[in-house]
Amino acid sequence: MTPRSFAALAFGALGLACQQQTGATSGLSTPTSTTDEGVSTADLTTSGGGSDGSSSGPTTSGTTTSTTSAPSSSSTTLLLDVGSDKDLGGGTPVGCKGKIDFLFVISRDVNMNVVQAQLVDAFPKFITTIESKFEDFDFHVMVVDTDEYWGIPWQCTPVCPDLSCKEGEPCCPYDYNPGTICCPVPDYPCGDLDLVTACDETLGAGVVFPAGKYASNHPCKVDSGLRYLTKGQSSLNDAFACIAQVGTGGWNESGAALAAAVAPEINAPGGCNDGFLRDDALLMVTMVTPSYDDSMTAVEEWYEAVVAAKHGDPGAIVMFLLNDPECPAGNRPCEFAKMFPYHHIADNDDADYGPAFNTAASQVATACAALVPG
């Protein structure tokens, strides 16, 4: 057990003792976790929502840990149910103090267009649920895609060899459906190619100009001038909708993209993600990916990179995966998510991601309260 983990458990026990003396309840209780091959699978019981069995309370990989309710404050509360008034309990976190870095890793797999649209639809309720209940809530929101290449390299080639494009139609050097269509992305931003930077073609860099089929296909308005959204961003929901629609053309290197996004160099001054990760903030990672992963690196390498980014404390991270909650053998993203003490795995085939985000919100509250900043 790391010093931070020990301190977090001791702090939680102290909070429980204080509650017992005063008769107060936090509205959030976490039953004793059990492990299966070192992975916690206990449900996180809440007032107003529940788990599908794929979430876990705070444990450490390879150990079994009993948990207690998170300490609470009387100043503010967090809602569990998105858009509802059911009190989750706990107040302004004494650990992260309302600072949360949200990192979304969104696959560019060919079948992800519906999933991306549903994620965009669920985001406003999720962020409002948390933001409205923390007086000093301070967030960073960054999206990374899963391919180092920007857009479709050949989309703007003005030559159509062996193709019969109608007058006025965009020309492409490759015909997806011979004889029926020339260009698959007629709104592709060929006029803005001069805006593409080296960071747009760097794996793990925040997305601010998605391009391709089903992508936003225009530069997104990010007030900070950085590659992520910050507190005070105007039209936050519209901005997220722009950066989150990364399109469906490219590889699915989800694990490698996540590891690259939290690397020290890319977050250092002058790096593509300059200042995104903060030492005193909770990190919530949302991975939206199919069951396979094209990354050439191992699951253990992804895990080591993310934990190292939070100074060796896996309890400073909430892992939320939209994938397959059954976690069949060979599903590397699922295997990865279950390595974290705070994790929730939901079905990316669900028609509504709201309930899954409800459960994720409860994990954020618990993890924030126990966080010992690095």
Query: Comparing C-alpha atoms, which of 178, 371, 348, 356 is closest to residue 281?
Result: 371
Encode pLDDT of 96-115 as tens digits: 888 999 999 999 999 999 99
- Chunked into runs of 10 residues, the chain (374 residues) has average pLDDT values of 41 39 34 35 34 42 33 36 43 69 96 94 87 80 96 68 53 50 74 94 98 95 97 95 95 97 98 97 96 96 98 96 95 97 95 89 87 81
Distance CA(88)–CA(74), nearest Å, equals 13
DSSP of 292-305: ----SS-HHHHHHH
Surface-to-core class of residue 131, CB atoms within 10 Å of its CB (0-12 exposed, 13-18 middle, 19+ buried): middle
Encode pLDDT of 223-240 as tens digits: 999 999 999 999 999 999
